[in-house]
Amino acid sequence: MTESHPRISKAVIPAAGLGTRFLPATKATPKEMLPVVDKPAIQYVVEEAASAGLDDVLMITGRNKRPLEDHFDRNYELESALQKKGDAGRLAKVQESSDLATMHYVRQGDPKGLGHAVLCAAPHVGHEPFAVLLGDDLIDPRDPLLARMVEVQEQHGGSVIALMEVAPEQIHLYGCAAVEPTGEGDLVKVTGLVEKPDATDAPSNYAIIGRYVLDPHIFDILR
């Protein structure tokens, strides 16, 4: 790898949406903090970025999103109480989320949409390709999807979008990609994107899921 092509190290996690679909649960609690088994959903996403080698994480936040910052920070009061109780297991779990990655935050003043949220990352990201992870999709931690996407971007350049095959009658629920084969098993060339098409108009049954590795040129387009 040459100096002009540094390894991708930055992940952007947009988390400034209003979360209206989960109301009233998300009236005062960010949707990203809703628990999945024993952890808030957003922790799985940060773990996924870190395990793909992206240890610089920028979260796009907004009003009412304070708990996100607190979750990835130390909590000395709680840690010392657990230490006094000799509860090493829970202490380790509490410390885990603050040790995952170097966390950065930027506020999106108005939730003007996902594209605008990604644009808020421009000053932090600079001129390197970067990953975007949406907390609405949780990926099995055993699936090396993001690491593979980083590898594909480094080999081919451009931007890489994760796709998932769905039943044709489900495609109207997703963004859909028009694709051409590449000859590489898990890789297709995206030739177009259609938002939530009717099954009859859909160019494929490949649905866009919330994992992207983007060329920084995207910022000019978003502007």
Helix (H/G/I), strand (E/B), else coil: 183: coil
Candidates 3-11, 113-121, 160-168, 212-220 — which segment interacts with ligand UTP by CB under 6 A?
113-121
Nearer to ligand UTP, 132 or 188 (CB): 132
User: Does residue 196 interact with ligand UTP by CB under 6 A?
Assistant: no
104 binds ligand UTP (CB under 6 A): no
Query: CB–CB of 8/56 below 8 Å?
Result: no
* Residue 17 in the binding site for ligand UTP (CB under 6 A): yes
Counting contacts by CB under 6 A, is residue 114 touching ligand UTP? yes
How many residues are recorded in the chain? 223
Bridge partners of residue 14, in order along the sequence: 60
Q: Does 135 bind ligand UTP (CB under 6 A)?
A: yes
Strands of 119-220, DSSP E: 130-133, 160-165, 175-181, 188-195, 206-214
Contact flag: residue 111 with ligand UTP (CB under 6 A): yes
Nearest to 137 by CA among 69, 197, 211: 211
- Give the nearer residue to ligand UTP in terms of CB position, either 29 or 75: 29
- When the beta carbons of 41 and 94 are compared against ligand UTP, the nearer one is 41
